[in-house]
A and B are shown apart, each in its own frame.
Chain A
Amino acid sequence: MQELIAGRLEGLCEPMKEMGSALEAFRNGAHRAADFSSLILEEMKEMGFDDCMVDRFGNIVGCVNGFRHEQDMALIFSIDYDNGTDGKGTDPAERACYTPGILTALYSAAVLKRTLLPLNGDLLVCGVPRSGCCGFGIKYLFEYYLRKRIRNLKGIILCEPTDLNLYLGHKGRMEYEIAVKLRLSDGFLANKGINMLGTMFPLIHELETVSRSLPSNYAMGSSSLQIKDVHFCGTRPKDAQNEFKVVVDRTFIPEEQEESILERAKMIAESVYNGEKSVSVQTSVAREKITLSAGTDIVSEKEFKPWTIESSHPFVLKSLQALADNGFSPHLGFWKNTITEGSYTFGELGIPTLGFGPGQEPEPGHQMQQVPFEAIKKAVYAQTMIIHRCIGVPTFGWTSDEI
């Protein structure tokens, strides 16, 4: 079987290189994300996927039909959210789209399709739009198109950078706002001549102090806190509607609860301004208004829950064994900076999920390094083996040789 898969993979090298170049050209050029999706969809058709479509939320779904209908498996990669612009304004470091992950997902399914190795269930290849730290696409994918398949899913592979290791989760990430309402009067810092902007500094300073002593987890490292933005409205003295907001980008380990993070942020703000009488503090998860390519507006909270699957989970053990049996030496790890759809698929739906892909995850704020083609090819081979081990019909006693 190995030589059969390796042979088919060799046959797909040229299309894979061409597709890689086309995807990169799209990402670096002034093109709409919708066209990017069309390119992926076309390639799915070209590779002989049995079914492929784009839903109204921009999720791309391709399916390689199994020979039976026992247990399905899904590969998920991220694509940039199509906000109707030409994509020029997006900071490359903020982009969700990870081209090597797309190639790994598409071509491991294509390899299996071409080997004709029978599968016990369908293989779903899903491109999910994501915006910043807001995973709206995955929710709709599972609430609509894949709703009936949830029970049947044996496992999900997230095609994100793991350097050919298996990653089992990551910290949570959320964006929250601390909204402080106050009156610039009654001696509220007025004697110092400080304006609204200046009134924020004590809170920002305190948050930065707090950020240096956040809890940590043995596997995932420390939580983090960064001031992402500040804005205010109203600067008139004696106006009770004056308000400023501090937007915080927070990552957090599983031991922390979102509610307590918000509660704590509120307490910090209240303690900073506790000498003032006319201050009210509110904290909430930031929301993002998303306009879908179909024209629909949705509002989504900007948060990803932390998640971690047990290293002794059968899906993890099987995948690990499949890699080891094929000459890989993977270790188990966690993403430090990347957020994934695992927050939803495992964190909320409980579907066994793990990450696998070529290339190392970038440092925060940095662009992904180029991944050599050979590493992508290796990842395709390895991922094909994982899929076959999990949902393939065993080929014990048989080789692809002449009998």
Chain B
Amino acid sequence: MKSDAAASILVINCGSSSLKYRVLHMPEERECASGEAVRVGTRTAAGSAILHSVGGEKRTIPLPLPDHSAAFHAVISLLNEDAQRHPEVAYTCFAHRYVHPGTQYALTAQIDEKMIERLKASVNLAPIHNRISLQLIETCAREYRTVPQYAVFDTSFHRTIPPPFSSYALPRSLVQKYHLRKIGFHGISHRFIMEESCRFLGRDPATQKIISCHLGSGGSSVCALRNGESINTSMGFTPLEGLMMNTRCGDLDIGVLLNVMEKHRLSPQEAEEMLNRKSGILGVFSSSSDMRDVVAQLGTDEKARAVFAMYVRRVRRYIGYYTLLLKKADILVFTDTLGIELPLLRERICEGLECFGIRLDTKRNMAADGYRNADLTGEGSETRVLAIPTNEEIMIARETFKEFCHDHRC
């Protein structure tokens, strides 16, 4: 790669009712513009809008955004306007976060027509998320033919999980027919955490054993990383497996499910609704699905104490398991909303983990502000304990820039 290689990458990260975007100038990872189209296709009292930020100036632009395509067009026209005054906003390529391409793609790749056709076959793997990304990819291919676009896959980081950890003990015929295996998610975030924690500590990821705890206000997962690769993660074939989450139950004895389905005469759809939308923190705590509300009521509410203890126990279980898997971790990292905003949660999770060589410094833990990387390692700890805000967009841009340079022989 030549040292003068540069590109402005428009990173697109879609949710079901949102479209986040950032223009990042690479390789210096400088943010030129960013924002989010909110309430896309929905109607609430606030109405849909684009929260746009460029050159330190923030604006909220109310706009009718009936779908993601409309939101994308609105964002592009905003960026084109800004590019008149801030030339660095002019993007040179698009980077899409694509949740689940199945087994077809393991690495970030430039999107062409053939790839679009192949991605179409993967839509049913993550029906809600993949379809939205695919629509935008098709829009870009149709309307912005001269701008190269890349797909960065959320699952590809976990492709290295070895079969003993990724296999389900189900009949082989079923496993083969439906390609049932642990897929794992939050791959982009876990990879960023790996690189960022090593950069922060001045270490080489290729030599480190890391446990990354992505504790979000929605989904959460823990990942075991060894020598720069994911070797296990808590989420499975779908995001339902693993930790207890805001409304997802996480790990469960399937016998419980079968029993409830039989007794309550639940259909598969009702069972899914129960496991995905009515369980987890919401199911136990009832009044909220947000762990921050739980923490606020720890002193007064018995149910809050119960759900907090359950949540902590499950994270600890995975840390314990992955510590054995890694034969002691070099780094334990907390990230995402709950991981960086709730020092009490980190403290309870790390309590009693001295037997694994993990000690947290309570003062440092309380002092961490959640916006910057923080070292929370206690005295005598064999494992460095960190809190690092995740930044998936940067990771997407890095991956894309690498491919962009390769494709353009920079």
Interface positions of A from 4 to 42, Cβ below 8 Å from B: 4, 7-8, 10-14
Shortest distance in angstroms between B293's beta carbon and chain A's nearest beta carbon?
Answer: 17
- B262-290 contact mask (Cβ, 8 Å, vs A): 1 or 0: 00000111101100110000000000000
Q: Report B53-99 residues with CB < 8 Å from chain A CB.
A: 66-68, 99
Stretch at the interface among A135-143, A148-156, A359-367, A389-397: A389-397
Closest to A385 in B: B269
Whether B102 is near chain A, meaning CB under 8 Å from some CB there, is no
When the two chains form their complex, are residues A11 and B131 in contact, meaning their CB atoms are under 8 A apart? no
A311 within 8 A of B: no
A333 to chain B, nearest CB (A): 22
> Is the beta-carbon distance between A325 and B273 smaller than 8 angstroms?
yes
Q: Say yes or no: is B154 at the interface (Cβ < 8 Å to chain A).
A: yes
Interface string of B119-130 (1 = CB under 8 A from A): 010011011110
Kindly identify which residue among A14, A117, A399 contacts B131, using a CB–CB cutoff of 8 Å. A117
Within 8 A of B (CB), among A311-334: 321-322, 324-325
With A396-B238, A403-B99, A403-B186 as contacts: A114 and B16 at CB distance below 8 Å? no
| Closest Cβ–Cβ distance, residue A322 to chain B (whole Å) | 8
Q: Chain B's interface: helix, strand, loop or mixed, by majority? A: loop
With both beta carbons as reference points, the residue of chain B lying nearest to A118 in the complex is identified as: B123
By the criterion of a CB under 8 Å from any partner CB, how many residues of chain B are at the interface? Answer: 43
Q: How far is the CA of A68 from the CA of B71 in the complex (A)?
A: 26
Q: Give Cα A394–Cα B17 distance, bound, in whole angstroms.
A: 19
Q: Nearest chain-A residue to B15 (Cβ)? A: A402
The minimal Cβ–Cβ distance linking A166 to chain B, given in whole angstroms, is: 16
Q: Decide if A371 is an interface residue (CB 8 Å cutoff).
A: no
B238 near A118 with CB under 8 A, answer no
Contact B186 A114 (CB under 8 A): no
Given known A-B contacts A117-B127, A325-B269, A397 and B238 have beta carbons under 8 A apart = yes
Interface residue? B292 (CB, 8 A): no
Q: Which of B41, B124, B248, B269 is A393 in contact with, Cβ under 8 Å?
A: B124
Interface status of B362 (Cβ within 8 A of chain A)? no
A48 contacts chain B at the CB level, 8 A cutoff? yes
Please measure, in the bound complex, the distance between the C-alpha atom of A13 and the C-alpha atom of B218, giving whole angstroms.
28
Per a CB cutoff under 8 Å, which of B42, B240, B247 touches A11? B42
Q: Cβ of B99: which chain A residues have Cβ within 8 Å of it?
A: 403
A67 to B126, CA, bound (A): 13
- The answer on a CB contact under 8 Å between B66 and A389 is no
Answer whether residue A116 sits at the interface, using C-beta atoms and an 8 A cutoff: yes
State whether B17 touches A116 (Cβ < 8 A): no
Q: Which residue on A lies nearest to B219, using beta carbons?
A: A403
Asked whether any CB of chain B lies closer than 8 Å to the CB of A400, the reply is: yes
* B148 at interface, CB cutoff 8 A: no
- Say whether A267 faces chain B, with CB atoms less than 8 Å apart: no
Say whether, besides A325-B269, A325-B270, A397 and B42 are in contact (CB < 8 Å): no
A397:B276 contact, CB within 8 angstroms: yes
Q: How many chain A residues touch the partner (CB < 8 A)?
A: 34
CB <8 Å contact, A4 and B120: no
Q: Is B237 interfacial (CB-CB < 8 Å)?
A: yes
Interface residue? B104 (CB, 8 A): no
- Binary interface encoding of chain B residues 325-365 relative to chain A, with 1 for a CB under 8 A from any of its CBs, else 0: 00000000000000000000000000000000000000000
Is A144's beta carbon under 8 Å from chain B? no
Which partner residue on chain B sits nearest A397 by CB separation?
Answer: B238
Of the residues A2, A67, A115, A399, contact of B120 by C-beta under 8 Å: A67
The reply to whether the CB of B27 lies closer than 8 angstroms to some CB of chain A is no
Question: Would you give the 0/1 interface string for A371-403, flagging 1 where the beta carbon is closer than 8 Å to chain B?
Answer: 000000000000000000100111111111111
In the complex, A1 has a CB within 8 A of chain B = yes
> In the complex, are the beta carbons of A114 and B219 less than 8 A apart?
no
Least Cβ–Cβ distance between B126 and chain A, in angstroms: 6
User: Could you say which of A12, A116, A398, A403 contacts B132, with CB atoms under 8 Å apart?
Assistant: A116
Complexed CA–CA distance, A393 and B129 (Å): 13
Return A116 CB to nearest CB of chain B, in Å. Answer: 4
A394 to B238, CA, bound (A): 13
Quick check: A11 and B66 within 8 Å, CB to CB?
yes
A403 touches B16 (CB 8 A): no
Judged by a CB distance under 8 angstroms, whether B207 is at the interface is: no
The reply to whether A114 and B66 contact each other, CB–CB distance below 8 Å, is yes
With a CB–CB cut-off of 8 A, which chain B residues contact A7? 16-17, 41-42
A394 near B218 with CB under 8 A, answer: no
Inter-chain contact A399/B44, CB cutoff 8 Å = no
Assembled-state Cα–Cα distance A400/B15 (Å):
7
A-side contacts of B240, CB under 8 Å:
397
Contacts of B132 in A (CB 8 A): 116
Decide: A398 near B267, CB < 8 A? Known: A11-B42, A403-B154.
Answer: no
Is B311 among interface residues, defined by CB-CB distance under 8 A? no
Which chain B positions have C-beta within 8 A of A403? 99, 129, 154, 185-186, 218-219, 239
Q: A172 to nearest B CB, angstroms?
A: 35
Contact A118/B269 with A13-B43, A397-B240, A402-B15 known, Cβ cut-off 8 Å: no
CB of B135 closer than 8 Å to a CB of A: yes
Complex Cα spacing A166 to B132, Å: 32
Chain A residues with Cβ below 8 Å from B42 are 7-8, 10-11
| Residue of B with least CB distance to A13 | B43
B17 touches A402 (CB 8 A): no
Q: Which A residues are CB-close (under 8 A) to B186?
A: 403
Q: Which residue of A lies closest to B289 (CB)?
A: A401
> By the criterion CB–CB under 8 Å, are B219 and A396 in contact?
no
Residues in chain B near residue A394, CB distance under 8 A = 124, 127
CB–CB B41/A398 < 8 A: no
Distance to closest chain A CB from B85 (angstroms): 33
Q: Is B216 an interface residue (CB 8 A)?
A: yes
Q: Which of the residues B128, B154, B276 comes within 8 Å of A117, measured between beta carbons?
A: B128
A322 to B131, CA, bound (A): 22
Binding site for A on B (CB under 8 A): 15-17, 41-44, 48, 66-68, 99, 120, 123-124, 126-129, 131-132, 135, 154, 185-186, 216, 218-219, 237-240, 246-248, 267-270, 272-273, 276-277
Beyond A396-B272, A397-B237: 10 further Cβ-contacts under 8 Å? A4-B128, A7-B16, A48-B67, A114-B66, A117-B128, A117-B131, A395-B127, A398-B128, A402-B218, A403-B129
State the A residues within 8 Å of B (CB).
Answer: 1-2, 4, 7-8, 10-14, 48, 67, 114-118, 321-322, 324-325, 389, 392-403
Q: Can you list 15 A-B pairs, Cβ within 8 angstroms, ordered by A? A: A4-B16, A48-B67, A67-B120, A116-B132, A117-B131, A321-B269, A393-B123, A395-B127, A397-B239, A397-B240, A398-B126, A399-B128, A401-B218, A403-B186, A403-B218
Q: Please give me the 5 A-B residue pairs with the lowest Cβ-Cβ distance, nearest first.
A: A397-B238, A400-B16, A7-B42, A402-B218, A116-B131
